[in-house]
Amino acid sequence: MLDFTVAIPTYNGANKLPLVLEKLRAQINTENISWEVIVVDNNSSDNTSEIVQDYQSRFSEFVSIKYFFEHQQGAAFARLKAIKEAKSNYIGFLDDDVLPTENWISAAYAFCQTHPQAGAIGGQIHGDFEVELPPEYKEVYPFLSIREHGSKPLLFEPNRLNLPTTASLVISKKAWNESVPDRLTLSGRVGSSMVASEDYELLLYIYKNGWEIWYNPEMESYHKIPAHRLEKDYLLSLSRACGLPTYFLLTINAKNWEKPMLFVRTLLGSSRRIILHLIKYRGRVRKDLIPAFELEFFWGSFLSPFYSFYLFTKNKK
């Protein structure tokens, strides 16, 4: 049994993987930690497997790097594969475009030792943007998996959907196996679909089973964000896609008798936000990105009860 596993789900990430793997090779203060690296190829069509094979000979003899293939498309399936294959209880997930600082593993493992009731631990994720952004773009940061909650550890508030992201996240395998269903309702972005939030779904199941969700500021990483992910059309699609699972996520920890009230509250609350937003910004919604971005999220939230019904009927087939 190892102390720690770093798991990297990737889809056509051959150009990005070397940066992440180099950061892992440069980790410090790991002399007393036994750890491994797992790369889960989520049905890539590029030379991802060759990149991993090349790095297998570069890593230290004390640290192995393993390659696994997951043909079923979707980040949820890739993470499940990593959970099954990991040889440790603590699994640190990194997206293939997230670069950890040199003490990421040691900071993560130390926090796990002092917080045994933590089912999941998120860290600071800073933005590494390809282009310079105006200050008002900070409204968009949380939707780009950027998390900066200060310099002190804190407990997240799952009931308010205040949660970390799996872009850089440590999960207890024990907590996952006890809490998360074999198949999630949300599978992650596949093809042209922008709807994700499968990371929130699994975290809500972990929280529902009595585990804590923590923020550890010592786990720092940088999310590399290319210019095309900051274009208006992409951001507006992302915003609505993030809003669509809202009602479904709220129902995970709700009792059955609470769900009809949540249905009504979600519709009325979203309607109110849309109306107030249109009154506040008037014609600026068409011209300015941030008001348009916010409005798309409100529309997604408004539609989320109906999207939840769609998910239910789809998964019953």
Condensed to tens digits (0 to 9), the pLDDT of residues 127-180 reads: 999 999 888 899 999 999 999 999 999 999 999 999 999 999 999 999 999 999
Same domain (yes/no): 178, 305? no
Same domain (yes/no): 28, 141? yes
Separation between Cα atoms, residue 91 and residue 171, nearest integer Å: 5
Same domain (yes/no): 180, 249? no
For the ranges 145-154, 201-210, 304-313, the lowest mean pLDDT is seen at 304-313
Same domain (yes/no): 145, 246? no
Same domain (yes/no): 191, 265? no
Same domain (yes/no): 142, 195? yes
User: What pLDDT is attached to residue 34?
Assistant: 97
pLDDT band at 219 (very low <50, low <70, confident <90, very high): very high
User: What pLDDT is attached to residue 192?
Assistant: 56
Separation between Cα atoms, residue 106 and residue 230, nearest integer Å: 33
User: What pLDDT is attached to residue 314?
Assistant: 72
User: Are 91 and 199 in contact, with CB atoms under 8 Å apart?
Assistant: no
**Final residue before a domain boundary, out of 177, 206, 226:** 226
* Portion of the chain with pLDDT greater than 90, in percent: 85
CATH assignment of the domain containing 189: 3.90.550.10
Same domain (yes/no): 158, 77? yes
User: What pLDDT is attached to residue 73?
Assistant: 87
Query: Residue 84 is part of which domain span?
Result: 4-226
**Final residue before a domain boundary, out of 180, 203, 226:** 226
Provide the domain count of the chain: 2
Angle of CA points 237, 208, 98, to nearest 5°: 45
Please state, as a whole number, how many other Cβ atoms lie within 10 Å of the Cβ of residue 280.
Answer: 11
For the ranges 4-13, 131-140, 223-232, the lowest mean pLDDT is seen at 131-140
How do 154-155 and 212-225 pair as beta strands?
Answer: antiparallel
**Final residue before a domain boundary, out of 168, 197, 226:** 226
Same domain (yes/no): 193, 281? no
Please compute the mean of the pLDDT values over residues 199-204 and round it to a whole number. 95
70-86 core/surface letters (b: 16 or more CB in 10 A; e: else): beebbbbbbbbbbbebb
User: What pLDDT is attached to residue 117?
Assistant: 98
User: What pLDDT is attached to residue 190?
Assistant: 55
Sign of CA dihedral 279, 281, 286, 289: negative
Same domain (yes/no): 212, 241? no
pLDDT band at 189 (very low <50, low <70, confident <90, very high): low
pLDDT band at 195 (very low <50, low <70, confident <90, very high): confident
Same domain (yes/no): 204, 148? yes
Same domain (yes/no): 191, 56? yes
Convert the pLDDT of each residue in 262-293 to its tens digit: 999 999 999 999 999 999 998 788 889 999 99
Same domain (yes/no): 239, 197? no
